[in-house]
Amino acid sequence: MGLLTNRVERTDIRPGDHIYTYRAVFAYSHHGIFVGGSKVVHFTRVETSDHSDDEMIALPSSCPTFPDCGFRQPKSGVVLTCLDCFLQNGSLYSFEYGVTPSVFFAKVRGGTCTTAASDPPETVIHRAMYLLQNGFGNYDVFQNNCEDFALYCKTGLLTVDSLGVGRSGQASSVIGAPLAALLSSPLKLLMPSPVGVATVTAGMYCMSRYATDIGVRTDVIKVAVEDLAVNLGWPGSRAEVGAESELSIEQIAQ
């Protein structure tokens, strides 16, 4: 990985890594947690007749390699697929954690890194497998999307303000770019040079991204995955779910 791209090879990723791939000719990225055994746990909108969101992926009806590919609980958007079905012929990228502010600013596109530190891989995998059994609530493109899911699995952090933007760097970029352009537009009267206006707009965009990063925000708290599942109202006792999650991890490793 470098400043220009986070692209990696399959041999570079390890269980517990936050990975992503681009969809629709780099229009947006889809994120997930690699849990080993060529399997990925990720979050998408549950398919219904009245939704056609870009982030809703086509789950494999029959994977020729893994019979459990596409497993999910009823009405849950958290799904287990193989790496091939997750990528859908796209390239593989690795999300970076614990980057310095200078590196964060250098990554112009949102949804590629965070200043927040990652928890140990075993904790990350436990969260992903637990949420595979319990769900991650309702999908929302701005407040609860696939990147939010992966960020929570990696850090255990949730935003307190449910009305604001979520943890997703992609969502922050979508909101931040028009906001920066809007805020910088009055400066056109003071700056005759288009280059000056563009520089100010770019600076505001970067600052808006940085201000919403989970490693910088003050409205985030650490929430145990067991408490998160209970608060989301998913059924099933804690002991039963824990047993199911352990069994799933063993099956994945095979």
Name the active-site residue from 18, 30, 31, 126.
30
Question: Of 82, 113, 146, 206, which residue is the catalytic one?
Answer: 146
pLDDT digits (tens, 9 = 90+) for 140-160: 888 899 999 999 999 999 887
Contact 3, 103 (CB under 8 A): yes
* CA atoms within a 13 Å half-sphere pointing along the CA-CB vector of 249: 19
The single residue listed with the structure tokens 């992503």 is: 20
Find out whether 112 and 213 touch, Cβ atoms under 8 Å.
Answer: no
- Helix extents (H) in the chain: 83-87, 101-106, 121-134, 146-155, 169-184, 194-211, 225-232, 238-253
Catalytic, 42? Answer yes
Query: Cα–Cα distance between 152 and 24 in angstroms, integer?
Result: 25
CB 184 within 8 A of CB 201: yes
Nearest to 23 by CA among 79, 89, 80: 89
Our answer to whether residue 51 is catalytic in this structure is: no
Contacts of 6 (CB under 8 A, 6+ apart): 93, 94, 95, 96, 112, 113
The predicted-structure confidence for 225-240, as pLDDT tens digits, reads as follows: 999 866 555 554 444 4
Q: Is 30 a catalytic residue?
A: yes
| β partners of residue 94 | 19
| Catalytic residue of the set 18, 31, 42, 126 | 42
Predicted confidence (pLDDT) per residue in 96-144, tens digit = 999 999 999 888 788 899 999 999 999 999 999 999 999 999 998 888 9
* Residue 225: both structure tokens together: 């995955």
Task: Answer yes or no: pTM beyond 0.95.
Answer: no
